[in-house]
Structure 1
Amino acid sequence: MTATSLCQGEGCRSGHAGGRPRRRTADGSLLCRSCREHLTAGLAELTHLYEECGRMLGGAAPGSLRERTTGGYLPGLPFNGAAADVRASMVSVLGSWSGLVAQQRGFTAPPRTVAALTAFLLRNADWLAAHSAAAEVTKEIARLVRAGRRAAFPDPARSIRLGDCPESGCSGALALAVRAGAPAPGEAIVCDADPAHRWTSDQWSELSRSMDSAREPGAAPAAATERWLTAADIARLWHTPTGTVYRLASEERWRRRNRAGRTYYNEGDVRACFTRRAART
C-alpha cells in the first residue's frame, strides 16, 4: 500500500492559508506533482533570470518586442542595486542547497555558478522532494524567482510595440500596454492612430498573421517583417509561465538573436509552436 501525506510545498501551503485544501502526495515524497513541477520550473527559470538581472547591471533598458531593424541600441540605465542583490542571493541560496545535497549524498559540489548549481539541483530534484526540508527549498526557490522577476522586469507599466496596424489604409502602429505582475488575459492591443483598431492579447496569433499579410500593393512576399520577442513578451502574449517559455525555446529550437545583452526569439517560430500545442489540446 502506498503511503500518502499532505503536500509540504510552497504552493499548497500558501493555498491552504488562502482557504484551498492541500493536495496529497505518495511514494515517500513530501511534494505533490504540482509543487514538484513548480520546483523544477523555478530552478530552470533562475538561470535565465540571473542573466536578465546581469543585463540590468550593464545598464540596458527593460526590453520588449522589437522588429528587425538597423536602429541603434536602447538607452542605458544606471547601475541596478536590486539586481545585484538578487544575483548574490541566487548564488548563496542555490549554493547552500547544493552543498546540502552534495554532503548528504556523497557527491562533489558543483561550481558556484547559477547555471551549474541549478543543473545540479535539477538532477537531484526527486531527492529534494523527499527530504525533510522540502517545504523550505520550495519556499526559497519560489522567493528567488519572484525577486528575480521584479529585478529583471521592474517596469510598473510599459508598452510593447508590435508593428504596423493591419487595417486597410491605416498608418498607425500597434502596442500592448502591460503592467508588472502575472500576464492578464484580455489586455488590449491598440493602434496609436485609431483607438477603434483594437484587439485583445489572446487574439495575437491571428492578428500577427494579419500583420504579415498586410502589404503595400506590389510589395515582394519576401519583405515580410520579422518580429522578435523577449521571453517576458511571449509569456504576456500567450499567457504562459516564463519558465515554460524558456523550456519551449530550448526544446523547439526557436531562432534567437542577442541585442544589448538581451535574447529575442523569432515570433514566427513561437507562433507555430503554440499553434501546434493548441491543436493537440
Structure 2
Amino acid sequence: MPEPTPSQSLPEQCASSRCRRAARSDALRRRRAAPGALLCASCKRALAADLAALPALHHESEQQLVLPARQQGPARATGHRPDAPPMSDAAIEARHDALVRLASWARLVLDETHPAEVPTDRSVPALARFLGQHADFLAAHPAAGPAADEIGRVATALRALVAPPRPELVTLGRCVEPGCDAEVSLPGRGGDDLVLRGPMCGAGHVLTPRQWLLMNRRHRTEQAKEPA
C-alpha cells in the first residue's frame, strides 16, 4: 500500500484526554479525529451534549447551595436574629468553576471569530448556549482537547451535585453461594437497581430468583428457631 502524500496525510488522533486515558488502559483504541476537527466524532458529540445540558444543570444546582438541615448542626437558641443557613462549599465551588471556565472559552471564541451575536450576559446558561453555537469551532481549534476536557469536568461536577442520593441498602441475610458468608442487600426503596441486577452480596454474587427464595426460606427457619 503506497505511503500517503502530505496532502493525503492520515487524520490526527483525538485530542481529548478521554480517548488518551482509554488507550492507556486498553479499554478502547484511541480514535482518529473527525474530518475538519481535532476531536473524534464521539468526543465532539460529548462536547455538544455537555454544553446543551449545562443551563439546566446550573439551574438545578442552585437548590444545593444551602446545606440540608441534617448537615447544619443543632440550632442555637438565642435572642438574636437567626443565622443565615450554612452554604455548601462544594456547590459554590462547582458553580464558580463553571462560570470561570465557560467565560474563558467564550472569550477565546469572541477574540478569534468576532461573531455577530455575543452572550446575552455573563452567566453559565448564556455562556453555555453561546459556546454550543460555536462547538464546531472549538472542536477544530488547536485547544480543542483542553476545551472538551474542561467543559466535560464542569458538567460532571454539576451532575454530581444534582444527582439523586443513592438509596439506602436493606440487609436481607447471608449469601447462599457455597463458601460465601457475605451479607446480601438491596435498595430500601426498590427502583432500577433492584430491577436490573437483583440482590447482591458484599462479595459480588448476584442472587438468582431461586437463590433469593432459598435465602428467604433459610432466614425464616432461623427466625423460627430463635427462643421466644
TM-score under structure 1 normalisation? 0.49
CA RMSD in angstroms comes to 3.3
Select the residue among 52, 58, 66 that pairs with 1:50: 58
**CA drift at 1:158:** 2.3
Specify the alignment match of 1:116 in structure 2: 126
Percent identity, please: 33
CA distance in 2, matches of 1:56, 1:184: 27
Q: More strand by proportion, 1 or 2?
A: 1
Asked whether 1:36 is paired with 2:50, we answer no
- In the alignment of these two chains, the number of paired residues is 159
- The structure having more radius of gyration, on CA atoms, is 2
Select the residue among 142, 146, 150 that pairs with 1:140: 150
Secondary structure at the aligned position of 2:48 is classed as helix
4+ residue segments displaced more than 3 Å? 58-61
**CA drift at 1:175:** 2.4
CA contact (8 A) 1:4 1:28 kept: no
Asked whether 1:5 is paired with 2:12, we answer yes
Secondary structure at the aligned position of 1:7 is classed as coil
Gaps of 5+ in 2: 1-7, 70-84, 169-187, 200-208, 210-228
**CA drift at 1:44:** 1.5
CA contact (8 A) 1:57 1:80 kept: yes
Select the residue among 141, 145, 152 that pairs with 1:131: 141
CA contact (8 A) 1:10 1:35 kept: no
Q: 1:84/1:154 Cα in 2 relative to 1: closer, same or farther (>3 Å)?
A: farther
CA contact (8 A) 2:34 2:41 kept: no
**CA drift at 1:154:** 7.0
CA contact (8 A) 2:167 2:189 kept: no
| Correspondences of 1:122-271 after superposition (within 5 Å) | 122-153=132-163, 155=165, 157-158=166-167, 175-176=189-190, 186-188=196-198
Deviation per residue, 1:162-196 (Å, 9 max, x gap): xxxxxxxxxxxx82368xxxx8982449xxxxxxx
Specify the alignment match of 2:224 in structure 1: none
Secondary structure at the aligned position of 1:119 is classed as helix
Secondary structure at the aligned position of 1:27 is classed as coil
Select the residue among 24, 30, 45 that pairs with 1:17: 24
Specify the alignment match of 1:263 in structure 2: none
**CA drift at 1:124:** 0.5
CA contact (8 A) 2:15 2:33 kept: no
**CA drift at 1:55:** 0.8
CA distance in 2, matches of 1:185, 1:142: 30
